[in-house]
């Protein structure tokens, strides 16, 4: 696909929906990529750049691709900056910082006409001939030599950053502020060296023209957060008091984030010996009255399945995050996919109800990360937050998080009771829940089928009553859940149907399609269990052309819709190579469909 | 406050065979709890799955009958969420040393302040008699018709090497000693492990009361502060010693969890958490 020309002026752009044209320059619409080997400091440099832009009132979106190893390999970080909200990365690049030859070879073709490439002219051979492109600007800069002169070759990334902001017309002082903050802990000498390297990089491009520039704009104080961090913030806001997990990419940063906050928020954090321990300990803590959670990826989730049934059978509230990566087996640890939908919907022995909810962006990770605890408590069942690597590890500028959220703990017994029955068959099927320490309510939470008191019981009638009780709760719950809504014009000829992280690329694709005169709308499904069958059926029946977008091969949401709504979606855009959708690929697929 | 045995008795009738060691383990545990006058509302008995694991249903305290092998993680979650509770984990040898072996190992090195009782009948009772991790070599069972080929787990030696701070062995039919061991274990600050040898009248024809009579001996005159001596005793295969092998005071895991300074996590007020402390890192 060829990058389109901007409608206003003929400056090529990654997306005409972002930025503006002033004085022959494209303002506040940038796609910047830094690429090199693991250990080159790509993430650090990128994070500083993104934060700097965010503080200038701009929207940012940062996503990284990296292999599952510690040194070497090929890493790249993509940062997009705009004057308007950004939902995803873009396939194309305005300015590439290439820290090795592989970075040039892999990414030069993605630079749009008029864009540029910053690289080390002393070590890399890059030319118009070798690139077979004369439409991009080359910036061969002595990155290594300059970094060494400023105090160490390790600061190559900082020199490149200095050059980046120089080309983009950003004030060096904002960069210096971030550098100071970042390296403060390492002492003044380190800070000074980095400032020197930044200044040197900045000076290297002085007077060199570049068609994109960034300008401050007013805005609220936003947060530069990853999906995992936002989900953790939601959980902490909900009163998370116990968190147990075993590290597994891409869920680990939830563990790290909770641990970093354990003292400030009085949370017991346990890195356990395995995922079986994690879920059972979380259940124990919840039984004791704590709001508790565990987080893992597919392999760890497999080890938790028996525990999930324990939470269901004992009606113990529990929040489990499954941050998906491609499988099966160890699969691709550092990549993304949505292959676990049917798995988390069905993972169990026998049948029991659960809530499965899939946030689609960082802000939803926060609100649903919060809400998950209310649902778990109010309905006393497991709630699964289903996310994936692209959502979990991409960073973006998040608008100020809503803080007027209310905690609902459901039917918690706080004082002594007469004739207490933990599993009393009530009208709404939810029974008052006591915790150890409450007088007069001693009961056994048993993983065996039990009667109202909690005593083991295998009588057919009791079994039926209890099995139905567990399911009745979710019927109640289904009535209270927010219903999915169409995003975009109701009468659009094309309706995207998706869940989870493809939301971002779909929203950006919709903007691209709109500027090409193609109207689309989008049905994002968040609550996947219980499934909002009626609403979805009604919306899908009204829609003109349905297009399913999912990161798996067998269109698992498509199967769920067919099962629940008896509607088959024939047009599908599926991707399962471990990478997120590029908005441009969605656009291309739609164009192919409509010709 | 006084606590009688009746206070600790539930309506449920134990489903164990007559002559099963679980009856006397239950009685000894209730006696110990009554003697120590621990308020039953502050006690949680956590088990796994097995014949012996039904015990929470027979003691009027809080109880949790979890999954096979997974009692210890549940006990850990309860204790860490509310360290003011007295938490007793109890389950069989198959549950603890077989399927739950990983949890056993890590709970010991953690020195969590809980009591851990293992109902060690050297056989799988509930699933009808297969050999267990503590069955002796050559033990014939439905899953080892020609005799078990593995060397049995030595629970006491394992506990000593993994850093358990209280290591004892009791015998189900020596009820007075067993109660004393339970009292002592409940008083111990740290992970207190009591492996309780017990007959299984139905499925273990090798380790009968008569066999225990001949092959066990109450410990006398040993120094529980002496780890080397404890290890030597643990490795004895003739005349299995019964009593306290080892005891040491050292910091407990829950004692070192710093967040308790602000109160019990499970019961703290969470109605309006202020996120500003966390969010300042993201601006
Ligand atoms: C995951 C799982 N695997 C197997 C079982 C079947 N099972 C129940 S109890 C048990 C063994 C019981 O032996 P032990 O733990 O020594 O306890 P006992 O019955 O002898 O008291 C087994 C294998 C189960 N409940 N769960």
The residue ranges of every structural domain in chain A are 26-213, 225-398, 412-480, 486-594
Q: Is the CB of B55 within 6 Å of ligand 1? A: no
> Can you give the CATH number for the domain in which B95 is found?
3.40.50.970
Q: Which of B48, B270, B272, B276 to mutate to test the interface with A (most CBs of A within 10 A)?
A: B270
Contacts across the A-B interface (CB distance below 8 Å):
200
Question: Is B260 inside a domain boundary?
Answer: yes
Calculate the alpha carbon distances from A215 to A46, A160, A169, A206, A457 in Å.
18, 20, 8, 18, 70
Peptide bond into A254 cis (omega under 30): no
Question: Is B111 inside a domain boundary?
Answer: yes
DSSP string, A183-227: HGGG-HHHHHHHHHHHHHHHHHTTT---SEE---------EEEEH
The length of chain B is 283
Q: For residue B105, which residues of chain A lie inside 8 Å, CB to CB?
A: 273
The residues, ordered by sequence, that sit 6+ positions from B229 with a Cβ below 8 Å of its Cβ are B222, B223
Distance B130 CA to ligand 1 centre (A): 10
Residue-wise pLDDT for A545-590, tens only, equals 999 999 999 999 999 999 999 999 999 999 999 999 999 999 999 9
The mean pLDDT value of chain B amounts to 97
Asked if residue A161 lies in contact with residue A101, where contact means CB atoms within 8 angstroms, the answer is: no
Q: Which of A128, A132, A135, A90 is closest to A112 using CA atoms?
A: A135
Tokens at B182, concatenated: 């339970």
Question: Is B48 inside a domain boundary?
Answer: yes
Q: Which fold has domain A486-594?
A: Rossmann fold (3.40.50)
Nearest to A437 among B64, B82, B268 (CB): B82
CA dist., res. A255 & res. B169, Å (int):
38
The reply to whether ipTM tops 0.95 is yes
CA dist., res. A574 & res. A341, Å (int):
14
Question: Under DSSP, is residue A552 helix (H, G, I), strand (E, B) or coil?
Answer: coil
The residues, ordered by sequence, that sit 6+ positions from B13 with a Cβ below 8 Å of its Cβ are none
Tokens at A586, concatenated: 């969605």
Backbone angles phi, psi at B93, to 5 degrees: -70, -35
* Residue A423 scores a pLDDT above 50: yes
> Quick one: DSSP state of residue B137?
T
Tokens at B95, concatenated: 């549950």
Q: Which of A52, A54, A102 is closest to A76 using CA atoms?
A: A102
pLDDT for A503 equals 98
Q: Is the CB of B75 within 6 Å of ligand 1? A: no
The residues, ordered by sequence, that sit 6+ positions from A258 with a Cβ below 8 Å of its Cβ are A232, A235, A236, A240, A243, A267, A269
Residues spanned by the domain of B153: 6-282
Q: Is the CB of B31 within 6 Å of ligand 1? A: no
Q: Which of A179, A558, A376, A101 is closest to A117 using CA atoms?
A: A101
Tokens at A65, concatenated: 């691709």
What contacts 24+ positions apart, CB below 8 Å, involve B149-156? B152/B122, B153/B97, B154/B234, B154/B235, B155/B93, B155/B96, B155/B97, B155/B118, B155/B120, B155/B193, B155/B195, B156/B195, B156/B230, B156/B233, B156/B234, B156/B245
Mean pLDDT along residues A239-260: 98
**CB-based contact B275 A237, cutoff 8 Å:** yes
Sole residue written with tokens 């500027």: A515
* Residue A8 scores a pLDDT above 60: no
The mean pLDDT value of chain A amounts to 95
Q: Model pTM greater than 0.90?
A: yes
Q: Whose CA is nearest to atom 13 of ligand 1?
A: B124
Q: For residue A266, which residues of chain B lie inside 8 Å, CB to CB?
A: 259, 262-263, 265, 268
Cα A106–chain centre separation:
25
Measured from the Cβ of residue A172, the count of other Cβ atoms closer than 10 Å reads 17
The residues, ordered by sequence, that sit 6+ positions from A69 with a Cβ below 8 Å of its Cβ are A38
Cα A62–chain centre separation:
11
Torsion angle defined by CA atoms of residues A45, A48, A49 and A50, in that order, rounded to the nearest 10 degrees: 120
Residue-wise pLDDT for B47-88, tens only, equals 999 999 999 999 999 999 999 999 999 999 999 999 999 999
CA distance B48 to chain A (A): 9
* Residue B95 scores a pLDDT above 80: yes
CA dist., res. A396 & res. A87, Å (int):
8
CA dist., res. A519 & res. A491, Å (int):
9
Question: Is B1 inside a domain boundary?
Answer: no
Q: Is the CB of B94 within 6 Å of ligand 1? A: yes
Q: Which fold has domain A26-213?
A: Pyruvate-ferredoxin Oxidoreductase; domain 3 (3.40.920)
Beta bridge partners of B246: B167
DSSP string, A148-174: HHHT-GGGHHHHHHHHHHHHHT--HHH
| Residue among B20, B50, B134 whose CB has most ligand 1 atoms within 8 A, to mutate | B50
CATH topology match: A26-213 vs A486-594:
no
CA dist., res. B119 & res. B129, Å (int):
15
Confidence band (pLDDT; 50, 70, 90) for A43?
confident
The residues, ordered by sequence, that sit 6+ positions from A177 with a Cβ below 8 Å of its Cβ are none
Q: Is the CB of B93 within 6 Å of ligand 1? A: yes
The length of chain A is 595
Asked if residue A73 lies in contact with residue A246, where contact means CB atoms within 8 angstroms, the answer is: no
Mean pLDDT along residues A516-532: 98
The C-alpha angle with vertex A496 and arms to A494 and A502, in degrees rounded to 5, equals 150
Distance B21 CA to ligand 1 centre (A): 17
Question: Is B128 inside a domain boundary?
Answer: yes
CA dist., res. A508 & res. A499, Å (int):
15
Cα B185–chain centre separation:
10
> Quick one: DSSP state of residue B97?
I
Question: Under DSSP, is residue A538 helix (H, G, I), strand (E, B) or coil?
Answer: helix
* Residue A66 scores a pLDDT above 90: no
CA dist., res. B153 & res. B235, Å (int):
11
End-to-end CA distance of chain A: 15
pLDDT for B262 equals 83
- Please determine, looking at this structure, whether the domain spanning A225-398 carries the CATH number 2.20.25.90: no
> Quick one: DSSP state of residue A289?
T
Confidence band (pLDDT; 50, 70, 90) for A12?
confident
Q: For residue B47, which residues of chain A lie inside 8 Å, CB to CB?
A: none
Question: Is B134 inside a domain boundary?
Answer: yes
**CB-based contact B271 A407, cutoff 8 Å:** yes
**CB-based contact B44 A403, cutoff 8 Å:** no
Question: Is B181 inside a domain boundary?
Answer: yes
Q: Which of A240, A280, A451 to mutate to test the interface with B (most CBs of B within 10 A)?
A: A280
Residue-wise pLDDT for B121-151, tens only, equals 999 999 999 999 999 999 999 999 999 999 9
The residues, ordered by sequence, that sit 6+ positions from A218 with a Cβ below 8 Å of its Cβ are A57
Continuous H helices in A288-403: 298-314, 341-346, 362-379, 389-393
pLDDT for A73 equals 83
pLDDT for A6 equals 39
Would you call A480 exposed, middle or buried from its count of C-beta atoms within 10 A (0-12, 13-18, 19+)?
A: exposed
CA dist., res. B219 & res. B198, Å (int):
17
Q: Whose CA is nearest to atom 20 of ligand 1?
A: B125
DSSP strand pairing (A20-22 vs A25-27)? antiparallel
Q: For residue A279, which residues of chain B lie inside 8 Å, CB to CB?
A: 73
CA distance A165 to chain B (A): 20
Confidence band (pLDDT; 50, 70, 90) for A1?
very low
Instruction: Locate the chain B residue with the closest alpha carbon to A242.
Output: B81
Q: Which of A257, A384, A274, A390 is closest to A334 using CA atoms?
A: A390
pLDDT for A7 equals 38
Tokens at A108, concatenated: 């030069």
CA dist., res. B89 & res. B107, Å (int):
11
Q: For residue A420, which residues of chain B lie inside 8 Å, CB to CB?
A: none
Nearest to A280 among B40, B74, B283 (CB): B74
Tokens at B221, concatenated: 């005159």
Residue-wise pLDDT for B218-259, tens only, equals 999 999 999 999 999 999 999 999 999 999 999 999 999 989
Distance B49 CA to ligand 1 centre (A): 6
CA distance A88 to chain B (A): 19
- Give the start-end residues of each E strand in B71-213: 86-92, 115-120, 166-171, 192-197
Tokens at A480, concatenated: 């209270």
Would you call A484 exposed, middle or buried from its count of C-beta atoms within 10 A (0-12, 13-18, 19+)?
A: middle
Tokens at A393, concatenated: 């590890």
Would you call A421 exposed, middle or buried from its count of C-beta atoms within 10 A (0-12, 13-18, 19+)?
A: middle
Residue-wise pLDDT for A120-147, tens only, equals 999 999 999 999 999 999 999 999 999 9
Question: Is B114 inside a domain boundary?
Answer: yes
| Cα R_g (chain B), whole angstroms | 20
CA dist., res. A543 & res. A545, Å (int):
6
3-state helix/strand/coil string of A51-99: HHHHHCCCEEEEEEECCCCCCEEEEEEEEEEECCCCCCCCCCEEEEEEC
Query: How large a percentage of chain A has pLDDT more than 90?
Result: 93
DSSP string, A103-126: HHHHHGGGEEEEEEEEEETTT---
pLDDT for A10 equals 57
Please tell me the total count of domains within chain B.
1
- Give the start-end residues of each E strand in A235-304: 240-245, 268-271, 291-296
**CB-based contact B74 A284, cutoff 8 Å:** yes
């Amino acid at each position: 696909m060829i990058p389109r020309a901007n409608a206003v002026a003929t400056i090529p752009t990654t997306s005409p929906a972002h930025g503006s044209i002033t004085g022959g320059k494209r303002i506040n619409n940038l796609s910047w990529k830094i690429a090199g080997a693991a250990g080159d400091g790509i993430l650090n440099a990128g994070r500083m750049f993104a934060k700097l832009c965010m503080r200038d009132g701009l929207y940012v979106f940062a996503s990284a691709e990296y292999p599952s190893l510690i040194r070497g390999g090929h890493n790249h970080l993509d940062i997009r900056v705009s004057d308007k909200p950004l939902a995803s990365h873009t396939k194309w690049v305005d300015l590439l910082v290439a820290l090795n030859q592989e970075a040039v070879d892999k990414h030069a073709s993605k630079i749009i006409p008029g864009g540029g490439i910053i690289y080390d002219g002393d070590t890399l051979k890059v030319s118009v001939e070798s690139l077979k492109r004369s439409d991009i600007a080359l910036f061969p800069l002595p990155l290594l030599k300059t970094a060494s002169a400023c105090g160490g070759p390790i600061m190559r990334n900082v020199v490149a950053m200095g050059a980046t902001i120089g080309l983009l017309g950003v004030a060096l002082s904002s960069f210096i502020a971030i550098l100071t903050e970042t390296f403060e802990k390492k002492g003044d000498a380190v800070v000074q060296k980095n400032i020197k390297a930044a200044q040197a990089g900045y000076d290297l491009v002085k007077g060199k023209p570049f068609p994109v520039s960034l300008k401050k704009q007013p805005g609220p104080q936003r947060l530069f957060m990853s999906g995992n961090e936002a989900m953790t913030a939601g959980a902490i806001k909900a009163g998370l008091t116990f968190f147990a997990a075993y590290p597994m990419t891409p869920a680990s940063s939830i563990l790290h984030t909770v641990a970093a906050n354990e003292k400030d928020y009085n949370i017991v954090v346990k890195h356990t010996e395995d995922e079986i321990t994690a879920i059972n300990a979380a259940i124990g803590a919840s039984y004791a009255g704590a709001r508790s959670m565990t987080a893992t990826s597919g392999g760890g989730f497999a080890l938790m399945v028996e525990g999930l049934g324990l939470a269901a059978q004992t009606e113990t509230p529990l929040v489990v995050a499954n941050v998906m990566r491609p499988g099966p087996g160890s699969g691709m640890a550092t990549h993304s996919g949505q292959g676990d939908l049917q798995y988390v919907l069905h993972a169990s022995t026998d049948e029991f109800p659960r809530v499965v909810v899939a946030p689609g962006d960082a802000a939803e990770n926060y609100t649903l990360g919060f809400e998950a605890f209310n649902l778990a408590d109010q309905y006393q069942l497991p709630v699964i937050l289903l996310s994936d690597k692209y959502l979990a590890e991409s960073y973006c500028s998040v608008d100020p998080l809503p803080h007027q959220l209310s905690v609902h703990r459901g039917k918690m017994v706080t004082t002594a009771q007469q004739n207490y029955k933990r599993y009393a068959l009530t009208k709404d099927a939810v029974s008052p829940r006591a915790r150890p320490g409450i007088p007069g309510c001693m009961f056994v939470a048993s993983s065996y089928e039990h009667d109202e008191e909690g005593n083991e019981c295998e009588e057919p009638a009791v079994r039926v009553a209890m099995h139905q009780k567990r399911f009745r709760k979710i019927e109640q719950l289904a009535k209270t859940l927010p219903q999915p809504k169409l995003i975009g014009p109701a009468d659009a000829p094309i309706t995207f149907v998706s869940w989870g992280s493809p939301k971002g690329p779909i929203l950006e694709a919709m903007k691209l399609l709109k500027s090409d005169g193609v109207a689309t709308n989008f049905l994002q499904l968040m609550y996947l269990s219980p499934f909002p069958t009626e609403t979805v059926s009604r919306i899908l029946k009204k829609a003109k052309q349905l297009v399913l977008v999912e990161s798996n091969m067998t269109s698992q949401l498509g199967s769920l819709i067919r099962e629940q709504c008896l509607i088959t979606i024939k047009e599908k855009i599926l991707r399962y190579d471990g990478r997120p959708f590029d908005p441009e690929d969605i656009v291309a697929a739609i164009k192919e469909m409509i010709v | 406050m006084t606590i009688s045995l009746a206070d600790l008795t539930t309506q449920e009738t134990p489903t164990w065979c007559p002559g099963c060691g679980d009856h006397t383990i239950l009685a000894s545990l209730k006696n110990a709890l009554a003697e120590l006058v621990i308020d039953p509302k502050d006690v949680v008995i956590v088990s796994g799955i097995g014949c012996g694991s039904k015990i929470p249903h027979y003691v009027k305290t809080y109880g949790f009958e979890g999954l096979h092998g997974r009692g210890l993680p549940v006990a850990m979650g309860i204790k860490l969420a509310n360290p003011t509770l007295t938490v007793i984990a109890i389950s069989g040898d198959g549950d603890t040393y077989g399927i739950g072996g990983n949890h056993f190992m890590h709970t010991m090195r953690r020195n969590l302040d809980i009591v851990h009782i293992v109902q060690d009948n050297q056989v799988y009772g509930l699933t009808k008699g297969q050999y267990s991790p503590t069955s002796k070599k050559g033990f014939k069972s439905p899953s080892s018709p020609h005799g078990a080929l593995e060397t049995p787990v030595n629970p006491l030696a394992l506990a000593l090497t993994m850093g358990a701070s209280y290591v004892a062995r009791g015998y189900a039919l020596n009820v007075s000693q067993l109660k004393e061991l339970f009292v002592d274990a409940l008083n111990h600050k740290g992970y207190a492990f009591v492996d309780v040898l017990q007959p299984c009248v139905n499925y273990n024809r090798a380790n009968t009361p008569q066999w225990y009579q001949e092959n066990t001996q109450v410990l006398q005159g040993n120094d529980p502060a002496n780890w080397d001596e404890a290890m030597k005793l643990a490795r004895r295969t003739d005349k299995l010693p019964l009593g306290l092998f080892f005891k040491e005071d050292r910091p407990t895991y829950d004692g070192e969890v710093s967040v308790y300074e602000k109160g019990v996590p499970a019961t703290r007020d969470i109605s309006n958490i202020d996120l500003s402390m966390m969010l300042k890192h993201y601006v």
